[in-house]
Amino acid sequence: MASLIRSPFGQPIMMRKSYGDALVELGHARNDVVVLSADVSSSDYSHMFEQSFPDRFFNVGIAEPALVDAAVGLTNSGLIPIVNTFAFLIATRALEMVRTHLCYGQANVKLAGAYAGLSDSFDGPTHHSITDIAILRSLPRMTIVVPADPLSVTRLLPQIAAWEGPVYFRLCRNEVPQIYVDNCQPQIGKGITLVDGDDATIVACGVLVARSLQAAELLRREGVYSRVVDMHTIKPLDVELVASCARETGAIVTAEEHSIVGGLGGAIAECLAGVCPAPLERVGLNDTFAECGPYLDLLDKYGMSVEAIASAVRRALKRKSTAGQLENHLEVTQNA
């Protein structure tokens, strides 16, 4: 199992740079792909596609609603538009366009949300995107993919282009460690079990996958064996995997660079309530805006440190054993 993970992690790479590279590669592989930008292409690295394919790149200016609408027009003619701007603008300013045309109208447009989570850290909460998963996940027909490392970006982007229907690809701005070995082949809709364990499961997405692996290592030294799952597809959720983790480990922790309201944690909570109730602890921003500052420090301060994940696992374990004792107690009482 552990063969999927590099040990130690590979040299950090800018995720946006790997996205730019992947976009150019996709442009070579498919001539029906067109790329749209709302004038932040030097930030999200879609400018790399512009340099390689200037005739298939459209900068619509700082106009996010028109950005999505123009893509709706392009896909009506059989093209695969990939829309690029900051994640929070896709999920807020352009939301009505996304809902009406991509989700209701079934326009086959792909959304690449740059600078997601706290990764545009120094620009502060106006530019952070901590509710995008919750907002977009509520829309029928939407697919949401959150890559954990550069290789995930490279392997998932061509699948997104080939996917039928709208997809939101949530991307980090910054350097992220290389987690996966080269032969890893993530598939949209299938979570990946990275580390096995029976005591609890950490279900993570995006940059918190690496931190969850570190938390699992820390816990292992305490004698706690956590399973770690990279749930890169938040919707449609890999319900079978979540159910088997809940059955086999009896306690779940979610870890995401997002509010604990409505994102991965919300999705897993809904799933557990429906198929296999188990104690759940959610790691993420605790229903609050953050502030500006260095990226890794922000993750730590706002509840997404390695230690915070480990603590959440310890809490979940405690609840699991309490629940077990209660169950035994009830059984004894009933038998008496």
> Which stretches of the chain bind other proteins, using CB under 8 A?
34, 55-56, 58, 60-61, 63, 65-66, 69-79, 81, 96-97, 100-101, 104-107
For residue 93, the minimal CB distance to other proteins (Å) is: 10
Place of tokens 């896909």: 75
| Shortest reach from residue 98's CB to other proteins, in Å | 12
Do residues 77 and 98 make contact, with C-beta atoms less than 8 angstroms apart? no
Rounded least distance, CB 58 to other proteins, Å: 7
Instruction: Name the residue nearer to other proteins (CB basis): 79 or 309.
Output: 79
Burial class (CB in 10 A: 0-12, 13-18, 19+), 300: middle
Among residues 64, 256, 257, 281, the one annotated as catalytic is 64
Shortest gap between Cβ of 90 and other proteins (angstroms)? 15
- Measuring CA to CA, which residue among 172, 155, 75 is closest to residue 121? 172
Q: What is the DSSP string of 258-289?
A: EESSSSHHHHHHHHHHHH----EEEEEE-SS-
For residue 64, indicate whether it is catalytic.
yes
Closest CA to 86 of 42, 49, 25: 42
Beta carbons of 194 and 4 less than 8 angstroms apart: yes
Cβ nearer to other proteins, comparing 36 with 237: 36
- In the complex with other proteins, the residue whose CB is nearer, 107 or 260, is 107
Residue among 25, 71, 58, 70 at smallest CA distance from 167: 71
Q: Which is nearer to other proteins, 56 or 232 (CB)?
A: 56
CA distances from 16 to 13, 23, 86, 289, 292 (A): 9, 10, 12, 24, 20
Active site residues: 64
